[in-house]
Amino acid sequence: WWAPGWKPYFPDDYVALPTALAFNFNTANGVHIKDPEKRAAVALTKALRARGIRVVGRPRAGKAPSGLTSIAQVDSAPLVSVLRRQNVPSDNYYAETLGKLLGANALSRPGTIAKGAQAIDAFAAANGAPAINPSDSSGLSYDARVTADNIVRLLWYSDTQTWADDLRSALPTGGEGTLSDRFKGVDVRAKTGTLTDISALSGWVVSENTGSWIEFSILSSGMPKTTASHIEDRVVEIIAASVD
């Protein structure tokens, strides 16, 4: 529940504990919890007993015994739907949980924040964007370093893939989520990024002249968020109106 470049208060304030088994987004009464597995066991035990099912012993967290038999399963929503739930509000908990899953699948189990960052770095380097040096999957780290050029190169790569439209559909458009008060009437799909005196906006905007998607990335530091957002909005509007 930590990454290089995080502020000490991030786990309390900005990202709930990313776990394979979660309970109510690992938040209770507005507080990020440290024992979601046990809480899930308690809730399941109560639900079973309420239905007249006998449950022996007390709910607890621990290593599962061997020889268990699956009796039911719940399938998740499609990945693009999960990514939209992550990207529209810019949810750090979703990002770090998916990052741990990525690290487990791309490298080895168990999944960790560090492995997720390593997998992202390797993917970027293999597809035209070397040395982006992420420390996490949410972008919270002040240690991360990336150029606008590298972000655009990754957007170019995405445009060559079968999942390009899915990726765009998972991003907020004007009037939605983190863009709720921005880009009214502009056909844009973009992801924001915000830290203290640091702002980012990267994604696609539709050319008013050709109707095609135009990739962009705008990164800034050392200015208030409102100033940075105004500059980002004007740049994107100019790109949409002037690029053939």
Residue pLDDT, tens place only, 40-72: 999 999 999 999 999 999 999 998 889 999 989
pLDDT at 77 over 90: yes
CB neighbourhood size of 164 (10 A): 15
Distance between CA atoms of residues 142 and 84, nearest Å? 24
Distance between CA atoms of residues 13 and 11, nearest Å? 6
Model pTM? 0.94
What integer pLDDT is reported at residue 88 of this predicted model?
98
Distance between CA atoms of residues 107 and 91, nearest Å? 24
pLDDT at 92 over 90: yes
pLDDT, averaged across the chain: 96
Distance between CA atoms of residues 146 and 161, nearest Å? 22
Q: Which of the four pLDDT bands, split at 50, 70 and 90, describes residue 185? A: confident
pLDDT in tens, 137-153: 999 999 999 999 999 99
* Cα 119 from chain centroid (whole Å): 14
What integer pLDDT is reported at residue 64 of this predicted model?
86
pLDDT: is 71 or 115 the higher one? 115
Averaged pLDDT for residues 166-186 = 96
Tell me the helices (H) and strands (E) count for the chain, helix number first.
8, 5
